Amino acid sequence: MSEKLNKLKEAIAEVADLNRAAALLGWDQQVNMPAAGAEARGRQLGTLGKIAQEKFISDEIGKLLEDLKQEFSDADFDDAAMIRVTARNYDKAKRVPPEFVAEQALVSSKAFEAWVQAKGMSDFSIFAPHLEKVVELVHKYISFFPPADHPYDTLLDDFEPGMKTAEVQAIFDALRPKQVQLIKAIKASRQVKDDFLHKKYNEKKLMDFGVDVITKYGYDWSRGRQDKAPHPFETSFSVNDVRITTRYEADNPMAMLFSTLHESGHAMYEQGINPAFERTALAGGTSLAVHESQSRMWENLVGRSLPFWEHFFPAFKKTFPSQLDGVSVKSFYKAVNKVEPSLIRVNADEATYNLHIMLRLELEIAMVERKVAIKDLPELWNTKMHEYLGITPPNSARGVLQDIHWSGGAIGYFSTYALGNLVSAQLWEKINKDIRGLEDQIRRGNFSELLAWLRKNIHQYGQKYDPQVLVERVTGSKITAEPYVRYLTKKYSEIYGL
Amino acid sequence: MSEKLNKLKEAIAEVADLNRAAALLGWDQQVNMPAAGAEARGRQLGTLGKIAQEKFISDEIGKLLEDLKQEFSDADFDDAAMIRVTARNYDKAKRVPPEFVAEQALVSSKAFEAWVQAKGMSDFSIFAPHLEKVVELVHKYISFFPPADHPYDTLLDDFEPGMKTAEVQAIFDALRPKQVQLIKAIKASRQVKDDFLHKKYNEKKLMDFGVDVITKYGYDWSRGRQDKAPHPFETSFSVNDVRITTRYEADNPMAMLFSTLHESGHAMYEQGINPAFERTALAGGTSLAVHESQSRMWENLVGRSLPFWEHFFPAFKKTFPSQLDGVSVKSFYKAVNKVEPSLIRVNADEATYNLHIMLRLELEIAMVERKVAIKDLPELWNTKMHEYLGITPPNSARGVLQDIHWSGGAIGYFSTYALGNLVSAQLWEKINKDIRGLEDQIRRGNFSELLAWLRKNIHQYGQKYDPQVLVERVTGSKITAEPYVRYLTKKYSEIYGL
């Protein structure tokens, strides 16, 4: 038996090496590659992906998995989990014909180009015929799998293994009215002043400050690095090489700082996974939502908290004395938490962000259920924006065309962002029960006990537990909206005096 | 037939993609990777190499090559050349059993560690037993191939396809007495002053100056980049992504500038290869010697020439006014060409460099002929150093242990450095016949006609012609020492008033 297990591990390790190599090619493309190198890089990524796929869905691996599944049934045993997750991935990969993967790549590539053009010209009609094709392929993709409770389940499962559409809808249904109500109350209150955040901040100093913060957080620089890239992201090539990127936006300088905190949360998750899981299906975070819970926790629950700024504000003010002249820590804290319904998801604050997601989820489900015509999406978008946030996009570029996801066929992805917010607050309540005086620790710039808790309860397990299983193991319940509502209500009641 | 050719091209393209991906992993390891990532990176490189090898020596490719070789016999036709070179590489790869490759990797890895330790302690006896094993494996490697005129031919052929040991020996035999004699004459002359080259030079300014120079050379930044790394090198991931590295050495600041010029020569070669050769066996320079002829030309024949400095010295002096206070262009030119027999190959000047190589070639041939006991290498080294350069290493670290090559089993490599010097001068004579007023062009900082000549006569062909064939096509004779002797004699007679 152990011989079969070793054989499986060896075969999977090769596939993992190919995927990690591809990840490096992707990182380099964002960070270093001269634009002229794109065509060759695309071919190289295509070849690596094709070979990894061929090797993964080999009959040899299929046979090994069949035999091994019989033997390993104890679900709390690492090898059993590894076999279970590998078998699930294998089954998914086997169901999707290579010709479909090739067709999808082609359609996505054209849809992406059309989306860039459509967004630039703010003309949805340019993108619409491509989105039609993307959605047709999504239907085809769903058809490769056994019928689920809801066709959207198949899509969601790729990002949140084991999660059901009905579960997400129930969570969001509980959340929506609370957030809408909160925003209304905030809108009726005295507004927060944040003009000093939009002055000119020196890029290098801002970047260095972010580096200092995440060093205190516990991001391990001996196993990573930060570079500049057009978009902030985290990627890893092993548990010992986990990199992040950041960017400077002249009209929104604080985004550089908070995106560094955000990506460091993803990175610390990856750095904390059991090294024994390397080159197996258990390497990497367990789902997008759980990953996002880590990034959001370090960005928001820690990085936008008052104790955090009580620690860091004096140094920050010393770094930017003219910009912050006369600004108190309290008013700075309020400013970085200013709530303002806005059109663009990626710039949304904590109180409004989830509503952007809910809108997208509803539209995606309507597309999958064929209950909306593609051409009607812009209007439906605008109607919902008004309903949830009280504002209406002036054009499609700042409305339905703002996100890249659909052009790449990534339908089923968005809700993980909101779920991540919920999980972060759910974990936070448990953490504050387990760690006495966490606020004081943060006020002293001490994050070690927090990181150790996350390492022990979340990070180390990698993909051993599915997201709902993991969250329930740790907090006693599956993903729920209540802690996040409590968190938002408390925080914004104080800030806005509700 | 064209169907078979397409099939071959497709299969080879995949192998090429894997090798280019591996090259990026190697580049990243030198330039960006945190040290902790080394173990995983080694495994990833191992996997990519293994899969590329397996795919390359497949029976399918063997069969296609057999069939295609029959059909394509016109040697001056791109596809014929591609089939010929692919078949040669295939034959070589097929002869070497995978177990041997694995054994060699293991032995090399241990020999490398022993070499690092031996060099650090300047104790050859630590390295000797490992070098014994390396040499045994070299003998075994030779045994996989049909007997050649000389067993060393098999090794040389991997770096200089088609070149014979006897040819190299004949060339070096003609060269050796001339260089020894020249050095003696220089030693007896009035010495050149170069103290101002060893002052403190600002790294950033030095690097920027190098960037300016190679921009004028014609290095295409839209298809490349320069980074810092522990060792200068050039590498490419496609004809449109050709990168170089450089480094700063506090005790030898000019090395940063000249290594940039050197690597730009390699890079412009790669950037100039026919794009139609991408993902085939014809991509890449044709041999190490021809590659080195390009790097040496831009570094030395151009970059250490008087016209070059007549153009660049005013700006250089403006950049470093205090270091170069009172220094004339003539004395600067003499200083960067100062001849001084020295112990370390990589720091050797143009007049002494080749003697370092000849010494190594003689020792390598003696090892391959089993005419020297490994334990006697240090003494033999020192004897020859005294004979050729008139100096004796004080210890093994600065003698027989100085180079990494043997620890990695790279026996047969060294002579390509000297051959590169010879080819650079041989091409230079032809270039100066073909381009009227080249010196004046260089004096005006105009390198476009020179680069165009190299593109047309050398670069574009990639590996279509073997090195001796290419050199003969262009210059009318195979590789010969005479132009280099003429070049050295003229240059140093002027500088040293011989």
Q: Does an H or E element contain B345, and which?
A: none
φ/ψ of residue B316, rounded to 5: -65, -40
Q: How far apart are CA A495 and CA A490, in angstroms?
A: 9
**Predicted confidence (pLDDT) per residue in A177-218, tens digit:** 999 999 999 999 999 999 999 999 999 999 999 999 999 999
List all residues 6 or more positions away from B145 whose beta carbon is below 8 Å from its beta carbon: B92, B95, B154
β-bridge mates for residue B245, sequence order: B227
β-bridge mates for residue A235, sequence order: A243
Task: Give the distance from residue B467's alpha carbon to the nearest chain A alpha carbon, in angstroms.
Answer: 27
Nearest to B21 among A25, A39, A240 (CB): A25
- Judge residue B241's burial from the number of C-beta atoms within 10 Å of its C-beta, 0-12 exposed, 13-18 middle, 19 or more buried: buried
Say what the pLDDT of residue A98 is. 86
Q: What share of chain B is helix, strand, coil (3-state, %, to 5)?
A: 70, 5, 30
Contact by Cβ (8 Å): A480, A426: yes
Say what the pLDDT of residue A422 is. 97
Contacts of B40 in chain A (CB under 8 A): 20, 237-241, 278
Closest C-alpha among B470, B415, B469 to residue B156 = B415
Across residues A144-168, what is the average pLDDT? 96
Q: How far apart are CA A149 and CA A392, in angstroms?
A: 34
Q: How far apart are CA A448 and CA A296, in angstroms?
A: 18
List all residues 6 or more positions away from A276 whose beta carbon is below 8 Å from its beta carbon: A78
**Predicted confidence (pLDDT) per residue in A214-237, tens digit:** 999 999 999 999 999 988 999 999
At B413, is the secondary structure helix, strand, or coil? coil
**Predicted confidence (pLDDT) per residue in A16-30, tens digit:** 999 999 999 999 999
Contacts of B39 in chain A (CB under 8 A): 238, 240
Q: Do B17 and A241 touch (CB under 8 A)?
A: no
Which residues of B participate in catalysis according to the annotation? Answer: 263
At B272, is the secondary structure helix, strand, or coil? coil
Tell me the two tokens of residue A279: 């080159």
Q: Are strands B226-228 and A224-228 parallel, antiparallel or unpaired?
A: unpaired
CA nearest to B42 within chain A: A17
Confidence tier at A70 by pLDDT (50, 70, 90) = confident
**Predicted confidence (pLDDT) per residue in A81-134, tens digit:** 999 999 999 999 999 998 898 899 889 988 998 999 999 999 999 999 999 999
Interface test with A, best of B10, B18, B24 (most A CBs within 10 A): B24
Provide the residue type at B427 as one letter.
L
Closest C-alpha among B213, B203, B289 to residue B258 = B213
Task: Give the distance from residue B238's alpha carbon to the nearest chain A alpha carbon, in angstroms.
Answer: 6
Tell me the two tokens of residue A382: 């605008």
Q: How far apart are CA A162 and CA A465, in angstroms?
A: 10
Contact by Cβ (8 Å): B166, B117: no
Q: Are strands A224-228 and A241-246 parallel, antiparallel or unpaired?
A: parallel
Which residues of A participate in catalysis according to the annotation? Answer: 263
| SS3 track for chain A | CHHHHHHHHHHHHHHHHHHHHHHHHHHHHHHCCCHHHHHHHHHHHHHHHHHHHHHHCCHHHHHHHHHHHHHCCCCCCHHHHHHHHHHHHHHHHHHCCHHHHHHHHHHHHHHHHHHHHHHHHCCHHHHHHHHHHHHHHHHHHHHCCCCCCCHHHHHHHHHCCCCCHHHHHHHHHHHHHHHHHHHHHHHCCCCCCCHHHHCCCCHHHHHHHHHHHHHHHCCCHHHEEEEECCCCCEEEEECCEEEEEECCCCCCCHHHHHHHHHHHHHHHHHHCCCHHHCCCCCCCCCCHHHHHHHHHHHHHHHCCCHHHHHHHHHHHHHHCCCCCCCCCHHHHHHHCCCCCCCCCHHHCCCCCHHHHHHHHHHHHHHHHCCCCCHHHHHHHHHHHHHHHHCCCCCCCCCCCCCCCHHHHCCCCCCHHHHHHHHHHHHHHHHHHHHCCCHHHHHHCCCCHHHHHHHHHHCHHHCCCCCHHHHHHHHHCCCCCCHHHHHHHHHHHHHHHCC
* Per-chain mean pLDDT for chain A: 95
Say what the pLDDT of residue B74 is. 64
Say what the pLDDT of residue A319 is. 98
Contact by Cβ (8 Å): B400, B377: yes
Eight-state DSSP code of residue B234 = E
Contacts of B13 in chain A (CB under 8 A): 43, 47
Contacts of A244 in chain B (CB under 8 A): none
Provide the residue type at B412 as one letter.
G
Q: How far apart are CA A48 and CA A42, in angstroms?
A: 10
Q: How far apart are CA B275 and CA A37, in angstroms?
A: 12
Integer-rounded Cα radius of gyration of chain B: 23
Say what the pLDDT of residue A106 is. 86
Q: Do A18 and B221 touch (CB under 8 A)?
A: no
CA nearest to A16 within chain B: B44
Q: Pseudo-torsion of CA B71, B73, B74, B76, nearest 10°? A: 110
Q: Does an H or E element contain B454, and which?
A: helix B448-457
CA separation (Å) from A59 to A54, A79, A81, B446? Answer: 10, 21, 21, 61
DSSP secondary structure string for all residues of B43-105: HHHHHHHHHHHHHHT-HHHHHHHHHHHHH---TTSHHHHHHHHHHHHHHHHHHS-HHHHHHHH
pLDDT at A145 over 70: yes
List all residues 6 or more positions away from B73 whose beta carbon is below 8 Å from its beta carbon: B80
Q: Does an H or E element contain B242, and which?
A: strand B241-246
Contact by Cβ (8 Å): B241, B275: no
List all residues 6 or more positions away from A112 whose beta carbon is below 8 Å from its beta carbon: A404, A407, A408
Task: Give the distance from residue A238's alpha carbon to the nearest chain B alpha carbon, in angstroms.
Answer: 6
List all residues 6 or more positions away from A6 whose beta carbon is below 8 Å from its beta carbon: none
Provide the residue type at A146 as one letter.
P
β-bridge mates for residue B236, sequence order: B242
Q: Do A37 and B240 touch (CB under 8 A)?
A: yes
CB pairs under 8 A between A and B: 114
Question: In the block, which residue shows the tokens 């969601």?
Answer: A156
Closest C-alpha among B90, B10, B105 to residue B49 = B105
Contact by Cβ (8 Å): A353, A340: no
Confidence tier at A5 by pLDDT (50, 70, 90) = very high
Provide the residue type at A415 as one letter.
S
pLDDT at A76 over 80: no
CA separation (Å) from B36 to A17, A239, A271, B23? Answer: 16, 9, 12, 19
List all residues 6 or more positions away from A493 whose beta carbon is below 8 Å from its beta carbon: none
Interface test with B, best of A10, A28, A55, A239 (most B CBs within 10 A): A28
pLDDT at A146 over 70: yes
Tell me the two tokens of residue A63: 């046979």
Query: At how many degrees (to 10) do helices B38-56 and B78-95 cross?
Result: 110
Q: How far apart are CA A116 and CA A135, in angstroms?
A: 18
Positive or negative, the CA dihedral B322, B328, B333, B334 is: negative
Nearest to A238 among B37, B46, B239 (CB): B37
Q: Do B34 and A279 touch (CB under 8 A)?
A: no
List all residues 6 or more positions away from A250 whose beta carbon is below 8 Å from its beta carbon: A200
Contact by Cβ (8 Å): B55, B14: yes
Q: Do B51 and A14 touch (CB under 8 A)?
A: yes
Q: List the pLDDT tens digit at each of the 498 positions of chain B.
A: 589 999 999 999 999 999 999 999 999 999 999 999 999 999 999 999 999 999 999 999 999 999 998 887 765 689 999 999 999 999 999 999 988 988 988 899 889 989 999 999 999 999 999 999 999 999 999 999 999 999 999 999 999 999 999 999 999 999 999 999 999 999 999 999 999 999 999 999 999 999 999 999 999 999 999 999 988 999 999 999 999 999 999 989 999 999 999 999 999 999 999 999 999 999 999 999 999 999 999 999 999 999 999 999 999 999 999 999 999 999 999 999 999 999 999 889 999 999 999 999 999 999 999 999 999 999 999 999 999 999 999 999 999 999 999 998 999 999 999 999 999 999 999 999 999 999 999 999 999 999 999 999 999 999 999 999 999 999 999 999 999 999 999 999 999 998
Q: Does an H or E element contain B197, and which?
A: none
Provide the residue type at B325 as one letter.
D
